[in-house]
Amino acid sequence: MRTNAIAFGAALLVACQGPDRGTPQPPAKLPGVRVVDLIPLSLSGETWQDAEPFLALYDSDPKLMAASAFTPNPGGSMSATAPIFVSNDAGDSWTLRNSLPSEGMTADITHAVGGTPPVLYAGIMKVPGFPLNELKASDFFSPAIMTLQSSRADIDQPFMRTTAVGSADRVYVGLNDFDAPSGRTATVDVSLDGGATYRSRRIETRNTAGQNGPSIRPAVARDHTVYVAYFGWRSNAGADVTSDVVVVRDDSGATGATPFKDLVDPSDHLPGRLVATHVTIPWSNAPTLGQERIGSTLSLAVDAQHSDTVYLAWADRVGNGDIYTVHVRRSGDRGATWSGDLRTLTNATNASLAISPNGTVGLLYQQVTGSGDASRWVTRLERSRDGFATHQDVVLASVPATAPAFQFLPYIGDYNGLLARGNVFLGIFSANNTPDSANFPQGVVYQRRVDFPTHRLLDGGGAAVAVSIDPFFFSVPVLP
Amino acid sequence: MHTRSAMLLALALAVPGSAAVAQMSRAALVKQSDIIFIGTVTQVGAVAAPEVPASPRTVVVRVDKVLEKPAAVALAEGDSVTVETVRAGSLKPGTQATFYTTGWIFGRGVAVREVGHEPGRSPVVVADQEAAVAKARLEVNDADLLAHIQRAAMVVEGRVAQVRPAELAGTPAHPKRITEHDAQWQEAIIQVDDGLKGARAGEQVVVRFPGSHDVAWVGAPRFAVGQEGTFLLHKDSTSGSPSAMIAGRSVPAYTALHQLDVLTKQDATRVRALIRKP
């Protein structure tokens, strides 16, 4: 690459003093925080809406990571493949590789690692036609196309988690399966043999409004306990769905004949603990909250070392003038009983939870503050060691919510990603990519070519590039 | 496929009087490529950026002239590109050629996979190659459009008279589902001015299109009242309901979901010419 491109594209770490925008002032810049824009230098002309990011990483090799977003193959929509991002330096730099068997882009994607690096599993909705593809790469750095292991139609929002047991990888794919009988569509595809075979496990035991909500979220502990959260849709009127928020549990990794029945609700003695009942889910598949659609925010995290402890976050409409409100609750007895709301976050979405080995819980979310042209998407990570009796927060980004105009939905994502490894939280979110240091209070590194003094993105030739949505990786230390 | 194309081209260029074969092969290379450039090999078994794995098949090429690339890709004259060749040992340092490639790894630099290369004369006459590739691209575009025309049930020149929400009856096979990927089908009623294939002037046809902004439908054409154009219409096998209603009559429903399915009114001339082409 040309010398001037290197000069402009070299990592720009910017320490920031964010101006007062009428929102709570973030704490001072924390040591050890990294925020990195994933778009590489060689794609500096990119203007796509790279929404709905996701992250996968290995315990055994902290340098290796995979990430995804609604990022298209740079070759265009006629391309036979779609890309993933990979890093082999702990997230400091990222490259884009076209290894997904989907034309140009996917319509949904999540992924998780195998026990042996660099094995990677992915669940995608393939373009065209949008069938579920459950995929595997024995080496995600390889240019080879990921191998198809299982496929079927009529599903939504595959959400993947994995764990290794001996030499075998167990794969859990939460998904909404419209072909499930009796409208009980909440399903987990379970593989106990590294994706060679999958069995679809139905986890809804109650009557529904014809289907469950799209988000089905598994979480796996080291002792093989598997929790799954889902929305039990009970009725709907217009755009509002009345739903229960339900958690099921399996104590043996879903290896038995009738899995996910180890947690029973005392009210009806059916599997699936009703953590919240009759909440109102505003189902809006149109720009509703800072140009984003709403209706499926749900996250679950289990303490991998102590599977008794589990945290749950979901969003609904409280009805106090809010558009969408995130709630966070905790159970310390394997889901049998739950706290009330530990956190209530108005006009927020994309809650993601993770628990570090030392017990710090992390809550990533994106919240609209202000109104009209002054409104902003604020991406924040809260960390707590005491069940959110107290917490410390880190503002990762505060960007305009009205620009750029949405190209499609989701605007920034129906979900983002947060994981814990060792003494750090590692995560990913999507946001307006204006290279303005005031927008990133913890600093930011761009790989793509930018000019911070003029707040401009530049293409390879130095011409200005329009602002768009980019995925941002971050690393934040856990609380000591 | 890639190897065969490269061999065809090499054979064509080696045989005097085989210009037609060479042109056909160049079009085949262009069709499979999204990054095309003239470049000079500077190293073999090497890479231009550290994120790319070196192998006996990788060579470093200095870009002399970019002929085609996606707008997002930063690539210009003087850049060094890693090319994963079809066959190890096929290129020597100092060789100048036209490289037909697809994107492979995008990091600090660009790495591409060779579809084929065209050695041509040395040095390559840039203007000649630019013209040849541009001509081949036109041929590829025409061939793609002709294929779409052949697959279409109906090709019309017309005007959108009305847009309305589609009323799709749920059936046991296609029950109503609530998903963020729901197409939210709309119907455009097109008044046919000229039927180019499978339709007559004066007809009205119903074309379903997604009203949804969901990512799954991001590339699908949309229709607006008053819009004029040339439309390649396919029998609706996507919405789950193959029929629609016009003035109380049940009629076949069509879709136009590919970007090539909705062209300008002026494109009708080109479409007619392709239909008539032997």
pLDDT at B55: 95
Per-residue pLDDT, A60: 87
CB contact under 8 A, A459 and B70: no
Share the mean pLDDT of chain B: 89
Name the residue in chain A with its Cα closest to that of B237: A129
At residue B13, the pLDDT reads 41
* pLDDT at B173 (0 to 100): 56
- Residue A293 confidence (pLDDT) above 90: yes
Segment A311-317 mean pLDDT: 98
DSSP state of A422: T
Q: What gap in Å lies between CA A38 and CA A55, rounded to an integer? A: 12
Angle (deg, nearest 10), helices B126-151 and B19-31: 70
At residue A7 the predicted structure's pLDDT band, cuts being 50, 70 and 90, is very low
pLDDT at A422 over 50: yes
Question: What is the band of A480 on the pLDDT scale with cuts at 50, 70, 90?
Answer: very high
Give residue B5's pLDDT: 40
Interval B257-277: pLDDT, tens = 999 999 999 999 999 999 998
Q: How far apart (Å, rounded) are the C-alpha atoms in residues B166 and B162? A: 12
Whose CA is closest to B146, among B260, B32, B230?
A: B260
Chain A residue numbers with beta carbons less than 8 Å from the beta carbon of B35 are: 75
CB spacing of B34 vs A460 below 8 angstroms:
no
Between the two ends of chain B, the Cα-to-Cα distance in Å is 27
pLDDT of B19 higher than 80: no
C-alpha distance from B207 to closest chain A C-alpha (Å): 19
pLDDT at residue A25 in the model: 54
User: Over the stretch B103-159, which tens digit does the pLDDT of each residue have?
Assistant: 999 999 999 999 999 986 666 788 999 999 999 999 999 999 999 999 999 999 999
- What's the rounded mean pLDDT across residues A185-204? 98
Please write the tens of the pLDDT for every residue from A121-164. 999 999 999 999 999 999 998 878 999 999 999 999 999 999 99
Segment A80-104 shows an average pLDDT of 96
Tell me which of A22-26, B62-66, B139-143, B265-269 is least confident: A22-26
For residue B3, what pLDDT is reported? 39
> Binning pLDDT at 50, 70 and 90, where does residue B23 land?
very low
Is pLDDT of A177 > 60?
yes
Predicted local distance difference test score (pLDDT) of residue B1: 34
Picking from A355, A365, A343, the residue whose alpha carbon sits closest to that of residue A385 is A355
SS3 A99: strand
Q: Are B97 and B120 in contact (CB under 8 A)?
A: yes
CB nearest B180 (choices: A70, A210, A285): A285
A contacts of B216 (beta carbons < 8 Å): 107, 125, 127, 130
* B75, B106, B140, B176, best to mutate vs chain A, most A CBs in 10 Å: B106
CA-based nearest distance A222→chain B, Å = 33
pLDDT in tens, A327-341: 999 999 999 999 999
- Give the residue from A228, A225, A250 showing the smallest Cα distance to A165: A225
How far apart are alpha carbons A475 and B142 in whole angstroms?
A: 50
Q: What is the mean pLDDT of residues A418-447?
A: 97
The DSSP result for chain B, as a single string, is -HHHHHHHHHHHHHSTT-HHHHHHHHHHHHHT-SEEEEEEEEEES--SSTTSPP-TTEEEEEEEEEEE--TT----TT-EEEEE-SSTTS--TT-EEEEEEEEEEESSSEEEEEEEEE--SSS--HHHHHHHHHHHHHHHHHHHHHHHHHH-SEEEEEEEEEEEE--PPP-SSS-----TT---EEEEEEEEEEEEES--TT-EEEEEEE---BGGGTTS----TT-EEEEEEEE--SSS--EEEETTEEEEEEE--SGGGEE-TTHHHHHHHHHH--
The yes-or-no verdict on residue B18 having pLDDT over 70 is no
Predicted complex ipTM: 0.91
- pTM, two decimals, is 0.92
Average per-residue pLDDT in chain A? 93
